[in-house]
Amino acid sequence: MEENTQNKKVTRKVIHYLIANNIIKEEKGRDLFNQTGIYPNEKKWLKFLNQSLMILGVVFSVCGIIFFFAYNWADMHKFFKLGLIEVGIIGVAVFIYFKKTETFAFKIGLTALVLITGALFATFGQIYQTGANAYDFFLNWTLMVSIWIIISRFPPLWLIYLILINTTVFLYSEQVLRNSEEAELLVVLLGINSVTLATWEWFSFHKEGFFKNRWFPRIVAMAPILILSILTIYGIDDDFNHWTTILGSILYVLVLPSFYFIYTTKIRDLFFLVLLAISIISVIDYLIFESIFEDIEGFFLSGFFSIGMTVLLVWQFVRLGKRWKEDVN
């Protein structure tokens, strides 16, 4: 029995099993919890506090700059406004220059640099009133910080960059391509976010360093699934008369089994299955309520369907999660 337990990966469940069967004493079990990192030690707590305080410092500093300008805008000369922000940029740049690129201080410093650069562009636009569209502001901001994003290897900063790209595309469509269809914009945003998600998951599957982090792809995946759901609903409304709704609906049908296969066999992640379930329930509910029964019957039928499917899926996901844990242990 001892040989079998030694070959197992030491997890919380394994340690509890050893204690419950009197293979090890409780004191030894507590030591194992600390040694394996299941319980964070003093060093991990200090690292967590240090990083949390750095994040709070950056957030409060950037907010302080914004509110300082908002309150004193009329009393400050334009050169003082620009100079103050540039001094902040230089100060942060000097700070991160003396930090190693793999340290958290370097990465959080780059994040501050990106945010302050955005404040600089916003201040410049307010001072000189160039008449440029809002998309110009986000486009220039995105281009200016691109090299910092590439070298950062910091997922939160990559998420900010992705938001900037999506915002730029959205504003360009609204302010320049004024006659463009909303569905066409959704197709473009679908492509951007899908490529981002696919790239991340490819590296994640091949175990490439920090790409194993799961919170980033979970946030990004919300966009393509939401967009595909909206395009499918648009297709139900217009009887699939536009190429965008036809394309969106075809992709939706293809994505459902693909996501299920990938996230149950290759990269096990219940979050994506939950997203798919919510999307499917929403689309079918809309189909029932708008296309089949448009009266009170449709309202009640869609409600009962949502409740029944939610209960069934929760039960299935709990079973699936337990089975995955047993496979790991």
Least confident of 19-33, 129-143, 299-313: 19-33
C-alpha 288: how far from chain center: 31
Residue 317 pLDDT > 80, yes or no?
yes
* Phi-psi domain of 151 (left: phi exceeds 0; alpha: psi -120 through 50; beta: other): alpha
Q: Are 251 and 228 in contact (CB under 8 A)?
A: yes
Pure H helices in 98-181: 104-128, 134-152, 155-175
pLDDT value, residue 241: 84
**What is the end-to-end Cα distance of the chain in Å, rounded?**
15
Residue type, 276: L
pLDDT value, residue 4: 44
pLDDT value, residue 2: 42
- Of the candidates 38, 31, 30, the one whose C-alpha atom is nearest the C-alpha of residue 12 is 38
Q: What is the pLDDT of residues 243-269, one digit of tens each?
A: 888 999 999 999 989 988 988 888 888
From the CB of residue 146, how many other CB atoms can be counted at a distance below 10 Å? 12
Question: pTM for this one?
Answer: 0.80
pLDDT value, residue 192: 95
- For the chain, the structural domain boundaries read 1-39, 40-180, 181-329
- Of the candidates 255, 247, 316, 300, the one whose C-alpha atom is nearest the C-alpha of residue 280 is 255
Return d(Cα 146, Cα 143) in angstroms, integer: 5
Four-point Cα dihedral 89, 92, 95, 96, nearest 10: -100
Residue 5 pLDDT > 50, yes or no?
no
C-alpha 148: how far from chain center: 19
Residue type, 114: V
| Tokens 């409780």, located at residue | 26
Q: What is the pLDDT of residues 136-183, one digit of tens each?
A: 888 989 999 999 998 888 888 999 999 999 999 999 888 888 766 788
Q: Are 118 and 65 in contact (CB under 8 A)?
A: no
